Every structure is written in C-alpha cells, then in structure tokens.
Chain A
C-alpha cells in the first residue's frame, strides 16, 4: 500500500505537562515533505520537548502528531524507524569509551541498516564531516565540535525521512557549521528529506529554513514561511542618524515629529523608526539640518529575523 503524504510532520494540538508545568500548550504546526522547518524560542520555551514528543521519547498529555503519516501515539516504533534524532547537547550523547566507528556501527545496526551497507555509509558520512581519519579514536577524546559532527552522522546514518535536530550547529566552528547547513539543504533538495530544527541561531534559520515558528512558554506565537516573515518585517526598518554634537537635544527634536514612531540614542547615533519612510525620511533630515544639528551619516538598518524574534518574544512576555 502506498501512502501519499504531503505533510511530513503534522502537529495536532500537542500538549505536554510535567506535573503542574505546562511545557507545551496545544501547539499546531505542519511541515511539508522535503522542507526545512525552524523552531525558535528562548530557553525553556518547549523546543526540545517538541522534538522529544515527535521522536516518541515522551508521551503527549493531549493532542498528537503525525510523522511521515504515522501517529506518534499509535506507531511509536515505526516513527522511530523513519526519524533521525540529534538530541539537545548532541555532542555529549556518544559513548565515550567506544570509537567513532563503533558508535556509528552500533546505531546503524540498531536502526536496522543492512550489515553490508553500514561500512560504506559510515565512510561516506565521516569523509563528508572530515572525520574519517579519526574513525578509530574514542569519542571521549574528540573535541566538542567533532563529537557534534559524529552525533550528526549518527542521526543521518539510516537515511531517515524526517530529521529532528536540536541545535545542530551549536559547538561547531563556522566552517563546519556552513558544511552542515549545506548538507541539510542538499539532503532536503536532493532526497526530499524533511528537517525539523530547533535553533537559537537566527541567522542560520533565516538562511536555510523554508518555514519558521517562534515558540514561547509552550505556545507558538508566530509562524509562517521565512519569506513571508521577512516581508512582514519590511517597513519596520530602523534608520541610524549619526550626529556631531549633543545627541539628547537631537533625540528630543526627533521625538517631537509626528511620523517618528520611536527614537533612542546609542552614543552619537539616534536610532529611529519612521512611519512611511519613503515619504518622511527626507523631511526628517531637513528638519534636523534646519535646527542646526550636524548630521554626518544617515543609514538604513535592515530588519532581520532577530528583530522579529526579539519583538515577538518581548510581546509574548508582556
């Protein structure tokens, strides 16, 4: 029987309580096949709990989720067969007394990879991660970054349909992090593997994820395609006006203008957010110059996902 699945991960009112603590509160989300989904949020927001529920380590208090069309409540073993997991602090989750190769071989067998395919897959992954020469080293002797790479290899070893990665590039140097990002994008494009990534690294999420959600206190407070969210940010740009002279006087002048939404001072620079900037930027500069303020630089600061994230989290907290 062939099951056609368009949504590879479907989260349906997923709730998890730990005693009195509500770690996840009826979250809903869907991740299409072959896409990269990023879950952002502060510490304790419920990101790792979501991954633990999706890979059936935890049982939901209410609601459910489907991974590859399989219900996590009804078919936990089958869900685990098709998922690859990089747990939180993945670099600490290897057997330190086993070698790199032995760690991967053990998990390859547990995931049911045919015995004759295991050596080849291990070699391919370790070569890609530039760790093949260290295959006989005990993982306890590796650096944090190298252990993280081995943990990533372990998650990828059985070619899972869905990869649940908790902070995949944490502890990696910039070059290794870039390689991992490229690998994730290439696997999602070439093999239609679906990625569910928890991250604090906003730049990374912005770069590789097709869709993101921001979670705080167990609730998803913002979700959408990365492109949509970037568009949403458009028009919320901030402008930086560097002046010579007393910035407080200039800031109060800027604040008095009706089309200025907010203004603050950073040393010799006034950071302003202007309504309808195309119309009003020139008016503001003229007003400042007319008032005798010595403006030496006027620049646009493009709003990033970080701004949206911080704003959303701030809004969610208040």
Chain B
C-alpha cells in the first residue's frame, strides 16, 4: 500500500471539503467554538468569583466539562469532512473516476480517513493547548491558584477517547456511504456518534458529592467512554471494511 497515494487523496479531499462553505465554517467555527466557550467561562469565573467555597465548587466543573467540550467539537468537523469525502463523491458524480484509478481499496479508505482525521485532531490539540494556555494566563493575571484545565483525566479523554470517536464517525460514514445519497444525510447520521461523549459530561453531574464532581467518577466515566469508543471503533471499522467495495458503491448509484 502506498501511503503517499493515500495522502494525495487526503490532501485533495480536504482541499475540496474546505471549498464547501458550510464545511469551512464548521471546521473553523466548531474548532474555535469549544475552546472559546471553555475559556470565556473560565475567565469569567476566575475574574469575578472571589476565592472561597463557591469558587472551588465552580472551578471543579471546568476540567471535565472543558475536556468534553473540546472533544465534542472536534468530532463535528470530522463528520462533515468525511461525509463530503465519501458521500460527496457520489453526489457530485466523481466516484467512478476515482474508483477507476489504480488506487487500492485500502489506499482509498486510508486517504478518506486521513482527510478528516488529521484536521480534526489538529483542531483538538490546538484547542486543548489554547485552553491550557488561556486558563494559565487567567490564573497568573488574577493571582488565583493554578489549576490544570483540562486536567489529567480530561487529557486522557482528549488524547485517547476522542480520536477513537473521530475514527468511529468516519467509519460510520463509510458504512452508510453506499446507502445515503446526500451529504447532509451522511453527516447527520454519523454525527449521532457524538452522543458517546455525553457520558463523561453527564455522569459527573448526576453523581455530585457535596455539590462537586467526584474525581473517581470522572476517571471512571472517561475510562468507560474510552472502552465504549474501542468497541464502537472496532465494530464499525470491521463493518466498514467489509462493506467498502467498488461493486456495491457503483451498483447503488
């Protein structure tokens, strides 16, 4: 398998996806939205709430919430780019020419996956760094004690579970690309995967102890999300690899 050919497909797909207005807006908007919201809330609390019980209760919510926000908003661009790369080819009738080239199925799949995976991960990491840096500046400026946002469980979610959820979203688009005919149908369907990331957001909230999220529960929720992501990515990729063949894609025009 030639990795260079897969990268060629990925670059072209990304370039074409970015020329679609709503994809471009979602990539920039969603990529920026998560970190901006998280940072605004952090700065608001750090700047306006005096040190005390209320401050620590409020600040205890930021690490899990911030990490989940960042993870969720990185999946949305992935669903849009992969929907464009897979179903978009069918929609704009470019599927046959690309399938007629000497690309192997694996090169094509890898290219289509990388085109959405690379920018989504880049956004996720850039957003994480921005929140980490922005919150540190807020703590330094206000003289409040430093907290790592996202914290270690949050980084675990961002670095381990989020990439798997992104890959799952791509694989769902591969599975449904032989069935749906419109790009928006594809990203609506694959966008459902984002619900997995509600687990680490909701579980700590519904299991509050003394009005604060329990760190052990946060770890457990993140581990559980990671495990679910592993299962989902394994199952959906097995299905995607089984279903991805030229005959099916061309026959169901």
Q: Which residues of A contact B (CB under 8 A)?
A: 18, 52, 55-59, 77-78, 80-81, 83, 85, 87-89, 92-98, 106-107, 109-112, 151, 154
Contact = CB atoms under 8 A, between A and B. Distances in A.
A87 B102 contact: no
A93 B93 contact: yes
B19 interface: yes
Given A95-B16, A96-B92, A57 B100 contact: yes
A148 to B, nearest CB: 13
A98 B104 CA distance: 23
B5 interface: yes
Given A52-B250, A57-B247, A92-B93, A97 B100 contact: no
A56 to B, nearest CB: 7
A93 B97 contact: yes
A95 B13 CA distance: 10
Interface string B81-99: 0000000000011101111
Given A56-B246, A57-B250, A111 B93 contact: no
B8 A93 contact: no
B96 A110 contact: no
Interface of B: 5, 8-9, 12, 15-16, 19-20, 92-94, 96-104, 245-247, 250-251
Contacts of A80: 100-102
Nearest to A87: B96
B92 A87 contact: no
Given A98-B16, A109-B8, A154 B102 contact: no
B97 A154 contact: yes
Contacts of A56: 100, 246
Name the residue in A95, A111, A151 with the highest tally of chain B Cβ atoms < 10 Å from its Cβ: A95
A59 B101 contact: no
A86 B67 CA distance: 49
24 contacts: A52-B96, A57-B99, A57-B247, A57-B250, A58-B246, A58-B251, A77-B102, A77-B104, A81-B102, A85-B96, A87-B97, A87-B100, A88-B96, A92-B93, A93-B94, A94-B97, A97-B19, A97-B20, A107-B101, A109-B5, A109-B8, A110-B5, A110-B98, A154-B97
Contacts of A18: 251
Determine the main DSSP class of B at the interface with A: helix
A106 B8 contact: yes
B250 A110 contact: no
A39 to B, nearest CB: 17
A144 to B, nearest CB: 13
A28 B154 CA distance: 64
A271 to B, nearest CB: 42
A192 to B, nearest CB: 21
Contacts of A110: 5, 8-9, 98, 101-103
A154 to B, nearest CB: 7
A55 B96 CA distance: 10
Contact of B246 (A57, A78, A154): A57
Nearest to B98: A110
A103 to B, nearest CB: 9
B97 A111 contact: no
Nearest to A110: B101
Contacts of B245: 59
Contacts of B99: 57
A195 B13 CA distance: 31
A179 to B, nearest CB: 22
Closest 9 pairs (CB-CB, A-B): A97-B19, A110-B101, A87-B96, A85-B100, A81-B102, A80-B102, A92-B93, A59-B247, A57-B250
A78 B102 CA distance: 7
Contacts of A85: 96-97, 100
Contact of A107 (B97, B104, B247): B97
B102 A112 contact: yes
Contacts of B97: 85, 87, 93-94, 107, 151, 154
Given A92-B93, A95-B16, A95-B94, A55 B100 contact: yes
Contacts of B96: 52, 57, 85, 87-88, 93
Given A59-B245, A78-B102, 10 more contacts: A57-B247, A58-B250, A77-B104, A85-B96, A85-B100, A87-B96, A93-B93, A95-B92, A110-B98, A112-B102
A96 B247 CA distance: 25
B247 A58 contact: yes
A29 B142 CA distance: 82
B112 to A, nearest CB: 13
Contacts of B246: 56-59
A112 B19 CA distance: 26
Contacts of B16: 95, 97-98
